[in-house]
Amino acid sequence: MDYTWTAARLAFLYLHFHTWLSGHCHLYNNRYAGDKVFRIVPKNDIEAKELKNIYHNLQVDLWQPSSHSYIGKDTVTDVHTSNKTSQALLTYLRQSNIQYKILVNDLQKILEKQNVSRTQRNRRSLSKYNYEEYHSLGEIENWMHHLNKTQSHLVYMFSVGKSYEGRPLYVLKLGANNIVKKKAIWIDCGIHAREWIGPVFCQWFVREALNTYNRDSSMRKILNLLNIYVMPVLNVDGYHFSWTTDRFWRKTRSKNRFNCYGVDANRNWKVKWGEEGASSHPCDSTYCGPYAESEPEVQAVSRFIYKQRKHIKAYLSIHSYAQMLLYPYSYQYDTIPNYHCVASAASNAVHAMRSAYGVRYQHGPASSTLYLSSGSSIDWAYNTGIPYSFAFELRDTGYYGFLLPESLIKPTCTETTIAVKNIAMHILKKCR
């Protein structure tokens, strides 16, 4: 699959020319200059309550957890603030004698540094498609079209609908066309725009599948017996926006009341929609939307999966960051009927994953392992009859957070591929 990446080279030259012409050389218009990321862990319920309030009042960008409503005693909270807001937060923390750590002192500097090292690496390897870097939506779409043309014995590319802004919602179907009624696995990446490790994992997995089909017996078995649907970017509008305008955008880009934009595409599914663990306020980052499946992206994907529900045996959704492998329920603490099978699949996958780099993942029901949330895709998939439904929260646990450097793409994607293959082999065995 090595080929000259002419389009990328042209885009690269154009960008440099453009930067030179317009005279500004800061990413995202320098909007993150002096922005900080704090880590604060409330020691008791009183601190937790105070933090919730202050986060809400200061309108900070919460990296972890995704909403202030999830904060309780001992919750690790990573908060991104503007330079100005950081002063107010610091004053408050000192007054209340709450302990904090500054994880990032100037977010803009980190973004620029990562972009420079990327540009340098790009110069060296421009002739080969680079799977160890983040790609823009346009680059990912070109890559998909290319595979559809050159790998048609194992790849078929199609669209399940259109996004709010009118972009096609592309999916790759991987698998040998040897038998008619095949079981299937669905994998989506990029439900949340800023979690860039997701889309790059989807690309990595596709490459691994295609490259090892001939020499790895388990991959050959997987692709012979199963179809794997891979959707590299579910929230295409949000992902694009995170490249052009706001690196830390999470939601879709639909316009709603109060002049706020976007719905949390992982709170918008038709399962206990709008209940606990989702916000009904359009400006919040966990806004569930005006009604279930209000987002065209969610509606398109759920329609496709619903039609294929008899074949699809596993639904996987790739997120970051936390290092967890989660399964239903998200919306309640009850255990699922086939808990035994699912929990053992998760435990095996996490164990296999650790063999690569020794990195540990927690695993368990999303509700008790992470937090309660309603309208999530894994609960919806599970309730639709898909017996294995998982959400991965990839690396790391907050050192880089959403800004996972490109040097960690390879280890992160390698171990995650092992986990996904492990789950695929599991569903070929009898355990329901």
* Residues in 149-168 that interact with ligand NAG by CB under 6 A: 152, 157-159
Q: How far apart are CA 3 and CA 5, in angstroms?
A: 6
Dihedrals φ, ψ of 341, to 5°? Answer: -65, -45
Whole-angstrom distance, CA of residue 32 vs CA of residue 196 = 18
Task: Please tell me which residue in 293, 393, 406, 415 is annotated as part of the active site.
Answer: 393
Quick check: is 393 catalytic? yes
Report yes or no: 342 and 349 within 8 Å, Cβ to Cβ: no
Helix-helix angle 409-428:197-212, to 10 degrees: 60
Decide if residue 319 touches Zn ion (CB under 5 A). Answer: yes
Considering the complex, state which of residue 42 and residue 401 has its C-beta at the smaller distance from Zn ion. 401
d(CA 402, CA 56) in angstroms, rounded, equals 21
In a 3-state reduction of DSSP, which class is residue 411? helix
Least CB distance to ligand NAG at residue 237 (A): 16
Site for Zn ion in 140-199 (CB under 5 A): 192, 195
Check binding of 142 to ligand NAG (CB under 6 A): no
Nearest approach in angstroms of CB 232 to Zn ion is: 15
Q: Which of the listed partners (ligand NAG, Zn ion, none) does 207 bind, with a CB threshold of 5 to 8 Å by partner kind?
A: none
Q: Which stretch binds ligand NAG (CB under 6 A): 111-119, 230-238, 270-278, 362-370?
A: 111-119
Shortest gap between Cβ of 319 and Zn ion (angstroms)? 3
* 1, 26, 27, 356: which one binds ligand NAG (CB under 6 A): 27
Q: Nearest approach, Cβ of 250 to Zn ion (angstroms)? A: 7
Please, which residues have CB within 8 angstroms of residue 364's CB and are 6 or more apart in sequence?
324, 326, 327, 343, 346
C-alpha torsion sign, points 295, 300, 305, 307 = positive
Q: Are 89 and 38 in contact (CB under 8 A)?
A: yes
By CB under 6 A, tell whether 176 contacts ligand NAG.
no
Report the nearest approach of ligand NAG to the CB of residue 377 (Å). Answer: 23
Number of residues near Zn ion (by CB under 5 A): 3
The tokens for 276 are 């606990």
Stretch that binds Zn ion, among 105-113, 318-326, 356-364, 417-425 (CB under 5 A): 318-326
Could you list the active site residues? 393
